[in-house]
Structure 1
Amino acid sequence: MCGNESECLEVAVGHGGVMARDSKTPRRTPVRFTAPAWREFLHAVTRGELAGS
């Protein structure tokens, strides 16, 4: 998922849920989401609730 070439979110989906990390900081531990939490995160982003956070 990339807004432009310098703002990418790397996402991996597996049996344990969804792992996400900022591509600019690949050595940091990814954030783990359950499937329902990931869906809510995506809805919040779509609604603009996280803008500027």
Structure 2
Amino acid sequence: MTALSTYQWFKSSYSGGSGTECVECAHAGDRTLVRDSKRDGGPLIGVEVSAWRDFTHALKRGELDAR
């Protein structure tokens, strides 16, 4: 796996504005990586791009509770 620092991480638009609920994402080939921005060296999850796209589209359509 490529070193985590080589990915271009960006904050999710669904992260809270208070700074306590920040999620960062990065594109990694056929996966989207997701991590807690306060733990950049900590655990992360990798989700297939198509599953991540379906998830974010469902959020935008209001089909999921975004709390």
The reply to whether residue 6 of structure 1 matches residue 20 of structure 2 is yes
Q: 2:53: which partner in 1?
A: 39
With normalisation by structure 1, the TM-score equals 0.68
> Which residue number in structure 1 is paired with residue 31 of structure 2?
17
| Runs of 5+ consecutive residues of structure 2 not aligned to the other structure | 1-11
Instruction: State the Cα deviation string for residues 22-46 of structure 1 (Å, max 9, x = none).
Output: 224x22x211111101101101221
Using the TM superposition, give the Cα deviation of residue 17 of structure 1 relative to its aligned residue in structure 2, in angstroms: 1.0
Runs of 4+ in 1 over 6 A off after TM superposition: none
Instruction: Give the letter for the 1:50 counterpart.
Output: D
- How many residues are paired up? 50
Q: Which moved more, 1:35-44 or 1:13-22?
A: 13-22
Q: Under a length normalisation based on structure 2, what TM-score does the superposition of the two structures give?
A: 0.57
Structure number having the greater helix percentage? 2
User: How many angstroms does 1:3 deviate by?
Assistant: 2.7
Larger strand fraction of residues: 1
